[in-house]
Amino acid sequence: MLAPALSIGRTPLVAVYGTLKRGQRNHFWLESADFLGSDRLTSATLYDLGPFPGAKSEPSRGVEVEVFRVDAALLTELDRLEDFRPRQPHAGLYHRAIHATTFGPAWLYLYNPEIAGCKAIRQGGWP
């Protein structure tokens, strides 16, 4: 994992792994974003939560993500969708952290609640 903030002046990148991916039910949120490509992250493990997945910063054999370039306004909208609370990052459903991708450092939304009893996805993607 990299530093917790992007350098000033850089357009944010977001790595998505669940319902925001192309072809999934929430992808419409990213229709205006630039799709940069797919990648595999070994710095995160996905958990199948039923209707959506959650990621934790745990080593894996490579989970599938899609990387998009977004502007600050869209990142704010995604924060609302994912219940990310900048002033209390661990109080919402997700917090976010920078993870290295082949396209550069990207925000990854990480699931806050406990995942006991949920199936781990340590390689591949969801669903």
Task: Kindly report, residue by residue over 2-58, the tens digit of the pLDDT.
Answer: 444 444 346 699 999 999 999 999 999 999 999 999 999 999 999 999 999 999 999
Burial class (CB in 10 A: 0-12, 13-18, 19+), 118: middle
- Choosing from 31, 58, 66, 82, the catalytic residue is 82
Q: Does 64 qualify as catalytic in the annotation?
A: no
Note the pTM of the prediction, 2 decimals. 0.90
**What is the assigned CATH class of domain 13-124?**
alpha beta
Per-residue burial over 34-51, b = 16 or more CB atoms within 10 Å of its CB, e = otherwise: eebebbbbebbbbbbeee
Query: What pLDDT sits at residue 3?
Result: 40
Tokens of residue 12, six digits: 């944010």
For residue range 91-120, list pLDDT tens digits in order. Answer: 999 999 999 999 999 999 999 999 999 999
Give the model's pLDDT for residue 51: 94
